[in-house]
Structure 1
């Protein structure tokens, strides 16, 4: 923890007093500089590129730049800072007006802060990469994590039949957010099942590409969202080859921060169609503990810092 000057917004920025922010896997990858590719692309080769980490924020506008017309002090807002210098793990941050979404009064700061990365990733992975259609069968591997809990609910909203894969202790939570079928991976290997799926959303990376292919419909799609680095590399390199060799499609998902998509997810929260699962809440001085907790893989849903 350090005391720093409150930043001053530029002409096209607003100063946000952050009321809540959530922790993502990207935060500890940037903090540790692992895998090494993170250093080259995002984090800085020898030293951290961004002095304050964190990307998901919800708070209220404290001051506005002279060119800002659509916001005023006191407005409650949500934003993803991943392409705008990070900085969520602070009390104040300057944010371009162009990436901000207004927070509805009926959505809490904590719920809103859980949505920018995990919620938008789930939406884009299902709708865009996975091309999910109403009536299709989707399997979500890693359904109890941050992206997974959003994906279960968004897939149901899109009209799919959802099979969720998680551990024993998290089955009831996953059922409570709408999963039609829940598989305990400690008791059953879904890749050995006779069931087939139109879409597999993989947020765990627990099986090989060949194993996933066994339970894909002949024209099914597989989307890798998260998991061990070696699984990511395999999906990135082997996916296009497997897609060319057959009718099944294998993709590696990369989040594209999008204001309209964030606004859509926030609308789902406001309507009650999606409710973020928040595992634990930490105070701002406890950010190191919050990151360690997420990195250990114990979290169900999101970890929020207030």
Structure 2
């Protein structure tokens, strides 16, 4: 089978090779999946060097995938022929290959009506947004998940600032937070303002134009929650916008690392977490997609053979939604 591989943990480049089809261990809940489409994550080529345990595995990118079950444990809810999608765990090789491995607790049924490409753009982004809104932000990092009705009560009327709102996770945060009743303020580049507004944001700020410290001088602009998808200076600037007693959450880095000098907020909770795949959450997301409540966003579609161009676009930081490899192309 064809596979994209990162030769070493420190490699900044990739290769397309022929490799053996993996063998699933059914006793450990493993399924063999014929991959129809897969999607990379920004910065993932740096993960093996930054987290040495990951470097011990075969370094295949793309944790998001959609495909068909070809082999499964007898007691699995997913049997050969089932159409599934998942964000698979980073401890195993990723899904930029024609066949891959996924375990029961990662998989969910592909939403009806979505193409393979559309489905592959969903899991990591949607599950991350779900875990922000249903687990980590409200529990202030304690990890206690709440159900849909409790979430609607908790988020109703809350002001939420989402930075990087046109990116893979950002588009899901805007849609889900709006669905739960929050008032969303979003930051993005000028070319994506109308897109983000169409997803439900009440106010959209062009980060190249608006100075958040100055914007937050008006107390009515202050927010209850900051959810950052960018890190660095963008995350640092968001500290000025949060109310006393509020929450600054980032999926990029611990927020305190970039808390600006002179910030005087009181009782601010800072939260950082790394998402984990949860089957039940992804099945709930499937229902919301099928009901038309929210949707994923595909930036561009590539054959595996154009992996260099695809990763260059990803690394450019200007994608609108997710980059997806369609394995039916050029083969």
Is 1:268 aligned with 2:288? yes
Deviation at residue 246 of structure 1 after TM alignment: 3.3
Cα distance in 1 between the residues matched to 2:36 and 2:323: 14
Gapped runs of 5+ residues in structure 1? 227-231, 240-244
Partner of 2:45: 28
Cα distance in 2 between the residues matched to 1:54 and 1:133: 32
Q: Is the 8 A contact 1:115 1:276 kept in 2?
A: yes
Deviation at residue 52 of structure 1 after TM alignment: 1.9
2:80 is paired with a residue whose SS is coil
Gapped runs of 5+ residues in structure 2? 1-15, 139-153, 260-264, 327-331
Is 1:174 aligned with 2:196? yes
Q: Is the 8 A contact 1:140 1:163 kept in 2?
A: yes
Deviation at residue 3 of structure 1 after TM alignment: 1.8
Is 1:9 aligned with 2:43? no
Q: Is the 8 A contact 2:33 2:68 kept in 1?
A: yes
Question: Number of paired residues?
Answer: 287
Is 1:203 aligned with 2:218? no
2:122 is paired with a residue whose SS is coil
Q: Which of 211, 217, 220 pairs up with 2:246? A: 220
Q: Which of 153, 158, 162 pairs up with 1:136? A: 158
Cα distance in 1 between the residues matched to 2:34 and 2:68: 5
Partner of 2:269: 249
Cα distance in 1 between the residues matched to 2:198 and 2:225: 22
1:99 is paired with a residue whose SS is coil
Partner of 1:258: 278
Is 1:159 aligned with 2:171? no
Cα distance in 2 between the residues matched to 1:209 and 1:186: 14
The change in CA–CA distance for 1:182 and 1:13 in structure 2 (over 3 A counts) is: same
Q: Is the 8 A contact 2:40 2:61 kept in 1?
A: no
Deviation at residue 210 of structure 1 after TM alignment: 6.6
1:285-300 aligned at under 5 Å gives the runs 285-300=305-320
CA RMSD of aligned residues (A): 2.4
Q: Report Cα offsets for 1:29-48 as digits up to 9, x if no partner.
A: 23xx5xx533x24335xxxx
Partner of 1:79: 86
Q: Is the 8 A contact 1:115 1:266 kept in 2?
A: no
Q: Which of 51, 55, 59 pairs up with 2:59? A: 51
**TM-score normalised to the size of structure 1?**
0.85
The change in CA–CA distance for 1:169 and 1:96 in structure 2 (over 3 A counts) is: same
Deviation at residue 98 of structure 1 after TM alignment: 3.3
Cα distance in 1 between the residues matched to 2:300 and 2:189: 18
Q: Which of 42, 48, 71 pairs up with 2:54? A: 42
2:18 is paired with a residue whose SS is coil
Q: Is the 8 A contact 2:127 2:281 kept in 1?
A: yes
